[in-house]
Amino acid sequence: MKTKQAFNPYLPSWEYVPDAEPHIVDGRVYIYGSHDLFNGINFCLGDYVCWSAPVDDLGNWTYHGCIYKREQDPAAPRIRVTNGLAAPDMVQGDDGRFYLYYFMGGTKMISVAVCDTPAGKYEFYGYVKYKDGTPIGKRGEPFQFDPGCLRDDDGRLYLYTGFAFGGNPILLDGSQPTKKGPMFFELDPKDMLTVLSGDELRYMGVLTGDEAKGTPYEAQPFGEASSMRKFNGKYYFIYSSLNSHNLCYAVSDYPDHGFEYGGVLVSCGDVGLPGVPDTNHAHMCTGNTHGSLIEINGNYYIFYHRHSNRKQSSRQACAERIRFEDGKFCQAEMTSCGLNDEPLSGKGKYPAYIACNVYGKSGTRFMSMIKYLKKDNPFLTQKGKDREEGPDQYVANFCTDCTVGFKYFDLRETESIAVTLQGCGKDCAVTVRTKEKGDVVCRIPVESTRDPKSFRGNLPKGLGKKEALYFSVEGKGSFDFLSFELA
């Protein structure tokens, strides 16, 4: 039974869990992802944590704590900053235990940890290996990275890995990126480690690089983030393309070959949707993204992540309901309501960090590991170092002619709207629109304030059941946008 509305990001604003692989166990959705730190200098610097929610209450997430520490792996390099725990995946074995497959920088191997429960304390188990005991990745193969797992209906166990970006010498650590797309291994379900598919590398036909030219994969060649799901007897391979900001899919009747390009599932900047041709026009500053598909109660959802704090390494978990018709998925739109399955209530107070559109008058950019300049760019951030030490996230540098958008709300009974701000401005007003380039439906005069202060305006009657809200600043000013209230 639903007890809370669901927002994006669906975890608390102080939590940074990107690369999420969702799995259902005993009526709960468990999230297995890497773990960024707020303002971290690199990706994946935290240990693995786990969250879960009931399948019928996707706004009510429970924190299960740290489930696995980096130092538990015997091969863990001494230096963490360039050798974090990257995106994992989980699968249940014949013995009922739960196996966590992961990659750690500096090892070149795919490691495995095991636990008796889906979100308990995992223990190191071993390395995926060939029959002679050599770990995969130790024979000069293309770079092993971001493992994805599938336990098929017949009990066979499959592993998918690969990394096609050639310009990352620190991560590659002397290895070569794959030039033939993701790699495929069938594993022995008895020990969950040993490769049964032979010593010769097998590729799935999800193309990348030069091989993708002149094929349906040319616009979205394989980059990384392998994930496999099976729906209605067909295999759906989810991956992040070399464009990096989007998740794509390919589909086949088989788990290891015959894949045909399907399309884009989601972009972390809505790139590819009408009116958003490229990252310069994106609705959020973009970076990499990673995630997977899941079916919950007959509906399909795409899990992915967004970026915050003006750089790539403070990533947060998001999810959207996605349309699935005749075996094909249609690109999902970034929203604030995500897993809620319906527009948010038109009554109540909402934190500004659930914004799904944040950009300045000069547009957006693809972020790097170095913070971009504030200038006229609003951005998501928080006070405090990390986790609960700081207050909730907010939109900083809410400034002249920027746009901060939220989707969607049922505004049929809503009469007024209030914004809570903190900052400086002269002859300023906050304008509210229900369409990105539409007419102003409310203009709220605001003033400089050292402490958080609310300013209220009236909304017109006759607004609809599914409306967006776009906030902008008129006049010269820069504020922290903390929250808004609908009444």
Question: Residue 171: its pLDDT value, please?
Answer: 84
Q: What is the mean pLDDT of residues 471-484?
A: 97
168, pLDDT greater than 90: no
Residue 19 among the catalytic residues: yes
Span 239-253, average pLDDT = 98
pLDDT band at 266 (very low <50, low <70, confident <90, very high): very high
Q: What is the mean pLDDT of residues 267-278?
A: 96
Q: How many whole angstroms separate alpha carbon 64 and alpha carbon 62? A: 6
Identify the CATH number of the domain defined by range 21-340: 2.115.10.20
Confidence band of 170 (pLDDT split at 50, 70, 90): confident
Residues present in the chain in total: 487
Q: Which of 15, 19, 270, 320 is catalytic?
A: 19
pLDDT tens readout for residues 40-51: 999 999 999 999
* Amino acid 37: pLDDT: 94
> Is residue 184 very low, low, confident or very high in pLDDT (cuts 50, 70, 90)?
very high
**What pLDDT is attached to residue 156?**
98
**Cα separation, 406 vs 320, whole angstroms:** 14
386 pLDDT above the threshold of 80: no
- Give the chain's mean pLDDT: 96
293, pLDDT greater than 80: yes
Query: Which CATH class for the 348-486 domain?
Result: mainly beta
> Which of 270-274, 361-365, 432-436 is the least confident region?
361-365
For residues 127-147, average pLDDT: 97
- CB of 113 within 8 A of CB of 124? yes
pLDDT of 387 strictly over 90? no
pLDDT, mean of residues 343-371 = 95
Amino acid at 414: T
Q: Which of 156-170, 228-242, 285-299, 335-349 has the lowest mean pLDDT?
A: 156-170
Q: Which of 21, 36, 186, 224 is catalytic?
A: 224
- According to the model, what pLDDT value does residue 385 have? 77
CATH 2.60.120.260 residue ranges of the chain are 348-486
Q: Start-end ranges of CATH 2.115.10.20 in the chain?
A: 21-340
